Amino acid sequence: MAASHDDEGAAPSMTSPDDETNDGLDTAAIVDLLGALAYGELTAFDRMAADARMAPTVTLRAALSEMAAVEMSHYRKLVARLTGMGADPFVAMAPFVEAVETFHARTEPRTWGEALVKAYVGDGLAADFYREVAAFVDASTRDLVDEALADAGSSAFAVREVGALIAADPTAASRLSLWGRRLVGEAISQTQRVAAERDALTQLIVGGTGGLAEMGQLIARITTRHTERMTAIGLSN
């Protein structure tokens, strides 16, 4: 699904996301959204490629490396859109570097199992958040976000491999469940940090949800999907 660049520089109204306007605040929020996602995809590529070295077999290493390559292709499309909007993609990504790197520094996997759960749970949480925010932007940007967040087979891969680890060692389930909870805590902490620092993005979310009260419902939806994801991978939330 290729994203159109015919609406370069366009931004949506908060009350009608499919209507294009020239609202500067909305444009800034879209640049923030795409910048955050682009840096996330870039980091997912190099982290996933590095984690592939922990794979116990060449087959698994190759599989995770292939998934990393998909993340890079998504990154390139996001950079192209930012450039088409007249934004410097590296300037757009810069505000999110510290939060993303802090998250990864605090959640460095030590085992193959932890690497799998991080790729599955961590990426899933991020995808849920970005999709929620993308509901408030124009259709073209929303399509691009959906494309960048498309599952390249990593979910099925993680579920299968974590299942195999638990089958071989049932005690792994409790350790990986704790790890999953740690990932969630760090992800929420860094997301709150970004929201506090990026006014345009925060206003887009608050405006799109209809107010702070509805923000709670957004968080509840993300939490519910996280619980479902943990159950699917055979871990307790």
Residues 146-184 pLDDT 10s = 888 887 677 889 899 999 999 999 999 999 999 998 998
CB contact at 8 A, 31 and 93: no
Contacts of the segment 22-29: beta carbons below 8 A, 24+ positions apart: 25/200, 25/203, 25/204, 26/137, 26/200, 26/204, 27/85, 28/200, 29/137, 29/200, 29/201, 29/203, 29/204
| pLDDT value, residue 169 | 93
**Does 237 map to a domain?**
no
Please indicate, yes or no, if residue 223 is contained in any of the structural domains.
Answer: yes
Is residue 98 one of the residues assigned to a domain? yes
pLDDT at 93: 96
Asked whether residue 39 carries a pLDDT value surpassing 60, the answer given is yes
Residue 62: how many CB atoms within 10 A of its CB? Answer: 12
Structural domain contains residue 189: yes
Kind plus residue range of the DSSP H or E element containing 11: strand 11-12
Does residue 1 lie within any of the structural domains?
Answer: no
In a domain, 10, yes or no: no
- Asked if residue 2 belongs to a domain, the reply is no
- What letter represents residue 7's amino acid? D
Whole-number mean pLDDT of the chain? 82
- Say what the pTM is: 0.79
Q: Residue 33's domain is classified under what CATH number?
A: 1.20.1260.10
Phi, psi dihedrals of residue 21, rounded to the nearest 5°: -135, 180
Nearest Cα residue to 107 out of 127, 93, 121, 128: 121
Output the pLDDT for position 188: 81
CA 156 to chain centre: 17
Q: What percent of the chain has pLDDT over 70?
A: 84
Domain span holding position 48: 21-232
Q: What is the pLDDT of residues 98-146, one digit of tens each?
A: 989 999 999 999 999 999 999 888 888 888 888 888 888 888 899 999 8
User: Domain tally for the chain?
Assistant: 1
What are the DSSP E strand ranges found in 20-72? 20-21
CA distances to 65, 80, 133, 146, 218 from 75, in Å: 15, 9, 18, 13, 26
Asked whether residue 9 is domain-assigned, the answer is: no
